[in-house]
């Protein structure tokens, strides 16, 4: 794969479609929309109905009450997690043409889209008086709880350079009294309420910032998740239920504790970037407390508890090209990343990548995103590895997450 010389906009997308005929055009489109982000026209915004669409949203990366749509769905059920970015150079337009909501790229209507719909529980309140949309966040088929809204790696400024969790929390606290923790009773009530809407959810997802404190590193974080999962588990009679925890790199003892005391079924830990030197630069807190090799090994060890196909390593796809210390070329970055990912796959761990966007409030907010070709090659490479090593990605796929072009490809 040569250095990117792709054109802009529609021509770039079409070039990539021709180069990768085995990758669905809808998934190529998703990756492109996520890297370029969107701008909503007034006509599109006029179709937003707060009775149907979620216009408020609270999770660790968003504090939203601006009455714009939460996000988009393509006609094949693929989610596009995106939001307007003030500094975006070449965003897609979301417009209304002939009565349909569509994505427009340099004047060309590309695809029809629909806005996510609001779950019933968003309009309900807990007995403590909190709106339930403050307690859980919904994707089309997933309910998410963020028990801890900050990240302790930022205590000494060593949070991950692409991550906006701390700035989102700071702004949310200042502007909307966003709490640091969620109350367990509020969580339990919200889960119970959410389940009343038959067919609305296929998975429970938990994540939050890292808490390295405790007798053993991350013990406090694990304690928190055990409590939260037990509160959620009240709705499921204490049995295992479709669920995913995205947490720090827990030790084997901690993973055993989580698995045996709760209904959790799958586990992800974000190693973010598959290169030890870049890991130290981009994730100094993770590097300081655990280190690259140990972080990787802990993810591998978790397979022995959760099982193959129920443990993934999360990546911020593209951040390996961040300047000035990232890989010099996309070729080099792809080869290195897939090489490391193969090492994980050989041990039963699937790697999944989101599309990095340098959002406001992150150290990397002025960086440039890699080419569309890079993201499509990365997505195909990661799915090919899972196929080769027979690792299911159901736990983190289009329905249970929706943020990874690579796991979208796992639908076939």
Partner 1 sequence: MGQAMQNWKELIRAGVPAVLTASDGAGEASLAYTAELEVDADGFLVYPEGFESSQINKNLVRSLWFDRRISVLVLDPELGPLELRGIPRRAIISGKRFEQAYRAAQNAHPDADLSTLWLIEVQEVVSRSRESRQRDQDSCHPIVAHLDRFAVAQASA
In the bound state with partner 1, the residue whose beta carbon lies nearer, of 199 and 237, is: 199
Minimum distance, C-beta of residue 370 to partner 1, in the bound complex (Å): 24
The answer to whether the beta carbons of residues 327 and 374 sit under 8 Å apart is no
**Given the DSSP bridges, would you call strands 108-115 and 72-74 parallel, antiparallel or unpaired?**
antiparallel
DSSP H or E run through 101:
strand 100-105
Nearer to partner 1, 73 or 211 (CB): 73
DSSP characters over 35-70: HH-EEE-HHHHTT--TTTS---EEETTEEE-SSS--
> Looking at beta carbons only, is 194 or 333 nearer to partner 1?
194
Which one, 234 or 394, has the nearer CB to partner 1?
394
Residue 370 is encoded by which pair of tokens?
A: 């890699």
Helices (H) and strands (E) counted in the chain, each on its own, are 13, 15
Q: Kindly state the smallest distance separating residue 312's Cβ from partner 1, in Å.
A: 18
- Number of Cβ within 10 Å of residue 81's Cβ equals 21
Complex with partner 1: residue 143 or 273, whichever CB lies closer: 143
Task: Give the residue with the Cβ less far from partner 1, 149 or 407.
Answer: 407
Which is closer to partner 1, CB of 22 or CB of 127? 22
Between residues 147 and 309, which has the closer beta carbon with respect to partner 1? 309
CB of 398 to partner 1, least distance (A): 8
Least Å distance between CB 32 and partner 1? 16
Q: What minimum distance in Å lies between the beta carbon of 35 and partner 1?
A: 20
Q: Name 267's bridge partners.
A: 245, 311
Q: How far is the CB of 13 from partner 1 (least distance, A)?
A: 15
Contact between 12 and 390 (Cβ < 8 Å):
no
What's the closest the beta carbon of residue 202 comes to partner 1, in angstroms?
8
- Which of 29, 354 has the CB closer to partner 1? 29
Binding site for partner 1 (CB under 8 A): 24-27, 73, 75-77, 114, 116-117, 140-141, 197-200, 394, 399, 411-412
Enter the tokens of residue 391.
């690792």
CB neighbours of residue 171 within 10 Å: 15
CB of 296 to partner 1, least distance (A): 29
Whole-number Å distance between alpha carbons of 304 and 73:
35
- Residue 118, token pair as written in the block: 């609001």
Q: What is the dihedral of CA 395, 389, 352, 103, to 10 degrees?
A: -90
Q: What CA–CA distance (Å, rounded) separates 219 from 182?
A: 18
- Min separation Cβ 52 and partner 1, Å: 8
Between 26 and 109, whose beta carbon lies closer to partner 1? 26
Looking at the DSSP assignment, which residues form a beta bridge with residue 93? 39, 104
Residue 126: CB minimum distance to partner 1, A: 23
Task: Give me the least distance between CB of 133 and partner 1, in Å please.
Answer: 17
> At a CB cut-off of 8 Å and minimum separation 6, what does 124 contact?
131, 132, 190, 193
Residue reference for tokens 């193969």: 342
366-398 burial: b if 16+ Cβ within 10 Å, else e: ebebbbbbbbbbbbbbbbbbbeebebebbbbbb
Compare residues 197 and 388 and give the one whose CB is closer to partner 1. 197
Contacts of 224 (CB under 8 A, 6+ apart): 147, 148, 208, 211
């Amino acid at each position: 794969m040569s250095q990117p010389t792709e054109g802009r906009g529609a021509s770039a997308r079409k070039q990539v479609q021709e180069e990768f005929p085995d990758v669905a055009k809808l998934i190529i489109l998703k990756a492109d929309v996520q890297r370029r982000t969107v701008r909503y026209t007034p006509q599109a915004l006029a179709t937003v109905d707060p009775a149907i669409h979620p216009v408020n949203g609270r999770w660790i990366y968003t504090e939203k009450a601006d009455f714009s749509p939460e996000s988009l769905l393509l006609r094949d059920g693929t989610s596009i997690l995106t939001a307007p970015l003030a500094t975006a150079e070449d965003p897609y337009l979301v417009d209304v043409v002939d009565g349909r909501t569509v994505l427009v790229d340099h004047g060309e209507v590309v695809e029809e889209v629909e806005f996510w719909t609001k779950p019933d529980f968003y309009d309900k309140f807990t007995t403590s008086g909190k709106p339930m949309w403050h307690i859980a966040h919904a994707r089309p088929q997933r309910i998410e709880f963020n028990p801890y809204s900050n990240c302790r790696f930022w205590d000494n400024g060593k949070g991950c350079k692409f991550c906006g969790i701390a700035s989102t929390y700071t702004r949310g606290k200042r502007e909307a009294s966003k709490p640091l923790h969620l109350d367990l009773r509020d969580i339990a009530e919200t889960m119970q309420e959410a389940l009343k809407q038959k067919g609305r959810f296929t998975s429970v997802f938990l994540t939050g910032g890292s808490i390295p404190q405790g007798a053993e590193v991350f013990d406090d974080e694990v304690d928190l998740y055990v409590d939260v999962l037990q509160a959620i588990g009240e709705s499921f009679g204490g049995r295992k239920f479709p669920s995913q925890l995205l947490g720090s790199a827990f030790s084997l003892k901690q993973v055993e504790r989580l698995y045996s005391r709760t209904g959790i079924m799958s586990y992800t830990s974000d190693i973010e970037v598959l290169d030890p030197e870049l890991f130290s630069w981009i994730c100094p807190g993770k590097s300081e407390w655990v280190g690259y090799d140990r972080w990787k090994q802990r993810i591998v060890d978790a397979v022995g508890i959760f099982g193959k196909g129920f443990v993934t390593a999360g990546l911020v796809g593209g951040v390996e090209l961040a300047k000035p210390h990232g890989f010099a070329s996309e070729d080099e970055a792809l080869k290195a990343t897939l090489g490391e990912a193969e090492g994980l796959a050989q041990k039963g761990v699937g790697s999944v990548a989101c599309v990095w966007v340098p959002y406001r409030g992150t150290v990397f907010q002025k960086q440039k995103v890699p080419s569309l070709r890079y993201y499509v090659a990365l997505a195909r490479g990661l799915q090919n590895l899972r196929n080769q090593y027979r690792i299911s990605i159901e736990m983190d796929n289009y329905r249970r997450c929706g943020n990874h072009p690579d796991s979208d490809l796992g639908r076939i």
